[in-house]
Structures are given as C-alpha cells and as structure tokens.
Structure 1
Amino acid sequence: MNIIETNKLTKSYSDFMAVSNVDLHIRKGSIYGLLGPNGAGKSTIMKMFLGLMQPTSGSFTIDGKSYPTDRLKILSEIGSFIEGPAFYGNLSGEENLEIIRKILGLPKSSVSEVLDLMGLTEHRKRLAKKYSLGMKQRLGLAGALIGKPPILILDEPTNGLDPVGIHEVRNLIRYLPKKFECTVLISSHLLSEIELMVDDIGILNHGQLLFEGTLDEFRYSAGEKGYSTDKLEDTFLTMIEEDNRKRGAIR
C-alpha cells in the first residue's frame, strides 16, 4: 500500500523546470530515499508536499488525501525537517521543544519522551546555540517527531555532519518506522549516506525521475544497462553523468 503517490507532478517557473511529470510511489511504513544532485528537484517536491509550494500541474495524494482539497488534513499527519533546523538560540533545547508542544497541544510528557529518544536528555538545559551540529540535527528531528506523526519528511538531515554524526542520525532514522509505525521520506545527494537505511529510492536529475524501486532493483537495472554495480554510489553518479551527457547532446 502506498501512503504517498504523485501523478505527473510538475513545478515550473518562467524559464526553468524544477520538477517534470514525476510519478512517485512511497510505500506505507517504508524509508524512501529521494536522491539527486543539488538542484535536481528533491526539496521542491518536499515543499509541495508541505504546501510551501503549489504544483504547476499534476497532483499528489498523501494517506488517501488529495492536495489542495485536504491540505490541512495532510499537514496534520506530517512531521518535517526542511533546510536545516531553525531554533531560538537563546532558549534551551527543552524550551524550544516546549514551544512546539504547546502549538500542537500535546501532553507535557511529549518533550521528555522525544528528548530521551534523540539522546538529548542530559543536554536539555543547554542553550540551542551551544549545541554541536550533530546535536542541532537531533533537536531538529526531535521537533519533527514530537507529535508522533505517521509521515516524516526529512530534507538532507545528515548534511554537514561528520562520519560519526552521520552514523548517529542514520541509526536513529532507521529505528523510526518500527518505533512509531511511520513512513519516512528522506532526501540526499549521496546514496552512500542513506543506502544502509532505505527500503526504496527515487533518483532525480534536472527535475525528472530516472529510477524508482528497491536497491536490489536498482542494482539489477543498472547492470542491465551496462553500469558497474560494485559500488552503488559510483553507479548512481555514473547514471547522473550519463543523463547529463544525453541532455547536453539534445541541446
């Protein structure tokens, strides 16, 4: 069963096609990796799901609800982490989460629960501006998770982290579907950062979907096309380079 589906989803500007006729199929309870280089359209798709951008054409449904008719109902089911976490630096991590808790009308226990889940309990009184980058990312995830939403949209949550930070965040995300019975949509420009946690991937380049399926299906499909599949990160990059060459030839 798919919890998110798009039908020819498109976002264009006067002289630029950000997303072009994209059909995504995101399975309920899965971790879905939206992959592509910077400018491929990943963030644009996520912002359309969150109602921050309006599609030029096409449509999408989330948990059986259609945009824009059910926009508010859709938003009530989504926790998001877009373009890095934004906090009040002069408030503690706990105080920042308390603001979100009050806005959402959640019980007081929600803050302590999510701080514990993210491993931030001992740092809860520290000012957010004094958090390390990894701690800020975890605080951002805590803010997205506090309402236990059935859908999480995470835009490059490992961006800027060192290998240890990437490992920490990756382990946390991999644990979420079982813990909260949720679906996770995560974007990245590096397959190597997310391949150990995703169930399915969608590869975007210049706003178009080049591939969608499991990692095993990606490996098989790439092998059929003559790509080396020893390292999937290299396979992914080769696919993008080949698509760029084709586009150059067409122009």
Structure 2
Amino acid sequence: MYMIETKNLTKSYADFTAVAGISLHIPKGAVYGFLGPNGAGKSTTMKMFLGLTAPTGGSFRIGGKQFPRDRMRILKETGSFIEAPAFYGNLTGEENLDIVRRILGLPKSAVSEALELVGLSAHRHRPARTYSLGMKQRLGLASALIGRPPILILDEPTNGLDPVGIHEIRTLIRSLPERFGCTVLVSSHLLSEIELMADRIGILNHGHLLFEGTLDELKFNAASQGFPTDNLEETFLALIESDNLQRGGAR
C-alpha cells in the first residue's frame, strides 16, 4: 500500500513550472528520501501535500484520502516541518509546543514526549528566542512529531545542525517507522545524508522526477547509463548534470 501517491502532479506559476507532472509512490512504513538540488521543486511538492499551495494539474492521495476533498483529514494525520519553523520567541520551547498540543487536542504528556524525542528536555524552560539555529530545528521537529502522527513530511530537517546533531536526527528519523509505525517523507539536497536513513528515494531536477526506487536500483540504473556507481554522491551528481545538459541549462 502506498501512503502517499501522486499522479502527474504539477505546479506552474505563469510561465514557470516548479513541479512537472510527477508520479510518486511512497510505501507505508518507509523512510522516503526526496532528493534534488536547491530549487528542484521538493519544497513546492511538500507544500502541495500540506495544502499550502494548490496544484495546477494532476492529483494526489495521502493515507488513502484524496486531496482536496479530504484536506482536513489529511492534515490531522500529518506532522510537518517545512522550511525554517516559526515560533513565539518570548515563549519557552515547552510553551510553544503546548500551543500545538492544544490545537491538536492531545494530552499534556505529548509535549514532554516530543521534547524527549529530539533531545530538548533540558532546554524546555528557555525562551525560544535564545535557542540556537540547531535547537530551533529540533523544536520544529518536535512540533512535527507531537502526537506521533502516522505521516511525517520533513523538509531539510538537519539544516543548521552540527555533525553530532545531524547524526542524532538522522538516527531518530531512521527509527520512527519501527517505533511508531509512521511513514516519513524527508527531503535533502545531499544524497550522502539520505542514503543513511532512506529505504527508497525520488530524485527531482527542474521539477521533473528523474528516478524513483531503492539505492541499489539507482546504482543499477546509473551503471546502465555509464555513470559512476562507486560513490553514490557522484552517481547523484552525474544524473543531475546529465539532465541539465539535456535541458541545455534551461529551467
């Protein structure tokens, strides 16, 4: 069963197409890595899933529910982290999460659980304005995880973290399907980061889906095209460069 499935999903702005007819298949219980250079269309796709921008073509289903008919039901089952999360700087990390908890109608214990998951328990009483960038990223992740939603959509969740923090968040994301039975869609522009936590990947460039499948399938696909396969990051870059050359460098 696919937890997230799109059919020819498209988003155009006047004469610019940000997402060009992509068909994604994200299995239930998977960590799906969404890859592509900055500006490839990853964030736009995630915003469509969350109803933050409307598709101009195609369709998608999340958890068996059709957008836009079931938009509110989809949102209730989806935890998200999109771009730099915004918080009330004068409120503590705990108080910021408590607002989310009350909106979602969750028990008070959900706040402590979320803070514990992302390693912010010791800083729960500090005002959010005093948080470092990495701590704000963790708080954003806690906000997405609160209530243990069955679907998580995470856009570049390790941005701003130091190497130790990146390792901790990667390990956490990798563990989520087994611990909570959830499905995770996580974006990055670095294959080296995604290959350590994803079961399947989708590679996007200039709004087009270049590849979807497992990392082993990516290696096989790349080898058949004469691309390097010893280093997956080089494989990814070769795939992107080849696509750019075919497009003549134009978007």
CA distance in 2, matches of 1:113, 1:14: 44
Which residue is 1:201 aligned to?
A: 201
Aligned-partner residue type, residue 163 of structure 1: P
Give the drift of 1:37. 0.6
CA distance in 1, matches of 2:138, 2:60: 29
Give the drift of 1:90. 1.3
Aligned-partner residue type, residue 130 of structure 1: T
CA distance in 2, matches of 1:156, 1:113: 22
1:90-239 equivalences in 2 (<5 Å): 90-239=90-239
Which residue is 1:52 aligned to?
A: 52
Question: Which of 56-65 and 240-249 deviates more?
Answer: 240-249
Which residue is 2:21 aligned to?
A: 21
Which residue is 1:73 aligned to?
A: 73
Give the drift of 1:250. 8.6
**SS of 2:58's equivalent?**
strand
**SS of 1:11's equivalent?**
strand
Superposition RMSD on alpha carbons, in Å?
Answer: 1.3
How many residues get paired? Answer: 251
Q: Give the TM-score, by structure 1 length.
A: 0.97
Give the drift of 1:162. 2.5
**SS of 2:90's equivalent?**
coil
| 1:27-75 deviation line (CA, Å, top 9, x unaligned) | 0000001100111110111000000111111000111111111111111
CA distance in 2, matches of 1:176, 1:127: 28
Structure 2's unaligned 5+ residue stretches are none
CA distance in 1, matches of 2:76, 2:234: 38
Aligned-partner residue type, residue 169 of structure 2: V
**SS of 1:53's equivalent?**
coil
Give the drift of 1:133. 2.1
CA distance in 1, matches of 2:194, 2:232: 11
Question: Which of 91-100 and 128-137 deviates more?
Answer: 128-137
Contact 2:134 2:159 in 1 (8 A): no
Which residue is 1:33 aligned to?
A: 33
CA distance in 2, matches of 1:162, 1:113: 23
Q: Give the TM-score, by structure 2 length.
A: 0.97
Contact 1:84 1:157 in 2 (8 A): no
Segments of 4+ moved more than 3 angstroms: none
